[in-house]
Each structure stands twice: as C-alpha cells, then as structure tokens.
Amino acid sequence: MTSIQEFMTQHHKQCDDLLVDAEGAIAANDWTEFALGWNAFEKETLHHFELEEQVLFPEFEAQTGMVGGPTNVMRQEHSQIRAMFEQMQQAIAEQNQERAIGVIESTMLFIQQHNMKEEQILYPMSDNRLNNGEELVARMKSQS
C-alpha cells in the first residue's frame, strides 16, 4: 500500500529532478536543452497540480469540511508558481539568461517551501483523515 504522502512526495522528487536537469543546461547557456528541460519540468509540475486540484483537494475538502484551509493556500501557491512559469516562457523566448536564472532561483525556493507544507502538513492530514486514501492514490497513479 502506498500512502498519499509517499506517492505525492515521490512525485515532488521527480519534478525536482527535472528542474535540476534544466538548471544545468541554462548554466551551460544551452537554450535548446534548457527549453526542453524546463518544459518537461513545467509539464510534470502542472500535472502534479492537476492531481491535487482535481483528485486530492476535492476529496480532502469533502471529507474534512475544510474548504478555506490548507487546500486553499496550496491553490493560491499553485497560481503563483504558474505565474513564474509564464515569466520563464518569456525569458526563454528572449533567451535572457540572467532573467531565466532569476526565475529558476525564485521558482526553486518557492516550490521547496510549498512542497514542505504539503509533505509535512497536508499529505499527513490526508492520510490520517481520508477513508479512501488507497483509492485516491490508485486514481492519481492511473492519471500519471
């Protein structure tokens, strides 16, 4: 049995690894590799947000009654990260290395803080409070 925390934390790590790969390409000023790497990171991170926003968060809210709590904060942070992704797409289009590195640093820091909240608060709460955690993990795996 895989817990929500185990599954989602592992997915965080997969996204983090993609970001590290992209960071190496921008350091080498290889825009082709960087764009490919960043786009892979962005796509997988947005997929992660979809799993949370379409599967986990609605179930958490339905079973706990907490609709203005941690899931609301996570959605707001997802929105902020999406804005960073838009900034990066502009940096890529302009091939502005300084801007790209700045966006990477901001994104990395923000996502680390965001993931920590999920991994230390939301996912453990989900595992403890939801009566269908295994089914939710199976649903999320089927969408991966």
Q: What is the pLDDT of residue 73?
A: 95
Q: pTM of this prediction?
A: 0.95
Give the whole-angstrom CA distance, residue 71 versus residue 64.
Answer: 11
| pLDDT of 68 | 84
In the chain the beta strands, taken as DSSP E runs, fall at none
Query: Contacts for 74-77 with beta carbons within 8 Å, 24 or more apart?
Result: 74/114, 74/117, 74/118, 74/122, 77/110, 77/114, 77/117
For residue 21, give the amino acid letter. D
Q: What is the mean pLDDT of each run of 10 residues along the chain (144 residues)?
A: 94 96 90 96 98 97 92 97 97 95 96 97 96 94 90
Domains, in order of start, for the chain: 4-142 (1.20.120.520)
CA 102/CA 118 separation, integer angstroms: 24
Q: Tell me what pLDDT residue 27 has.
A: 86
DSSP codes, 112-139: HHHHHHIIIIIHHHHHHH-TTHHHHHHH
